[in-house]
Structure 1
Amino acid sequence: MGFPFGVNILKSDNFGVSFEVVPSIRTEKNISKMSNVVFHPGAMFRFKHGFTFIGRMAFETGGRYGVTPVFNQVIKKGKDASLYVSVPLPVRFGNDLPVSVSTGIQVGVSF
């Protein structure tokens, strides 16, 4: 299970830069440990109606690398914070393993 946290810096109403770090915890045979950290720099493109696309590169401490396009939608906009849902689509290469493609869902609060 990953625990993403990040910082987005808006350069304009429609564009920004994004950096996310995702430490992962793995449980096997009732033993849990931190198994990997993903460093995710990227560009953020904001559109109308609370939709944002974030194109991220991915560098994992486990030796894999790739890209993670993220589709993000604000579902409740508040005065000081907003609730959002994101769907990342990680694609990974390297480390003498086959290419992997997966998906996920994130729910978060932006300030």
Structure 2
Amino acid sequence: MFRRMALLGLVLAAFLKTASAQETPPVYPRVAGYVGILHPIVTFSSEGTVTNFKNYYIVGLPTGINIWKSPKIGFSVEVVPLVQAENGASKVSNLLFHPGVLVNLGHGFTFAGRAAFETAGRYGFTPVLNKIVKKNRNSGYFVAVPIPVRFGNDHPASVTLGFQFGLAF
């Protein structure tokens, strides 16, 4: 009798351990936030090619909220103050409002298609390819390649290649 009870106890303990070790699936809609650092690398337009880090340095500090409707699709809104350092002085040179749609591509990759509205008077869109490079229990580190396309404010259309990294939580 004692052996049967001990065996039953071991089986029950193994079952409970397995059941508790399984992750509960996420509930949708699911909200996540993130912060990051954005470095525009090079900008192309009919006026020529301009590189960051040469005559000045611009850095963006994106902060956003993602609302995932399902495991595959979501909505995101991002605000990005851009700080420019030049000739020994720095200033906030632009503020970007960046809403968009998120598409989970699998294997840690996400595509973000964003509309872009800048206080500098420019507007356009930004396709972004994002990859989670390290996933923790409650957060993850990511890298992203944004490609801003901008129009307006009496400037020619431009395309920029950027690099972004950050923390999602």
Q: TM-score range with shorter-chain normalisation? A: over 0.9
Q: Hey, which bits of structure 1, 4+ residues long, moved more than 6 A?
A: none
- CA offset at residue 66 of structure 1? 0.3
The two structures have a TM-score, normalised by structure 2, of 0.64
- CA offset at residue 38 of structure 1? 0.4
Distance of 2:91 and 2:71 partners within structure 1 = 40
Is residue 41 of structure 1 aligned with residue 107 of structure 2?
Answer: no
**Percent identity between the two aligned chains:** 54
User: Bigger CA drift: 23-32 or 7-16?
Assistant: 23-32
Within-5 A mapping of 1:1-111: 1-111=59-169
- CA offset at residue 95 of structure 1? 0.5
Distance of 1:15 and 1:83 partners within structure 2 = 20
Match for 1:80: what amino acid? Answer: N
Unaligned runs of 5+ in 2: 1-58
- CA offset at residue 29 of structure 1? 1.8
- What SS does structure 2 have at the residue aligned with 1:67? strand
Unaligned runs of 5+ in 1: none
- Coordinate RMSD, CA, aligned: 0.8
The two structures have a TM-score, normalised by structure 1, of 0.96
- What SS does structure 2 have at the residue aligned with 1:62? coil
Aligned residues: 111
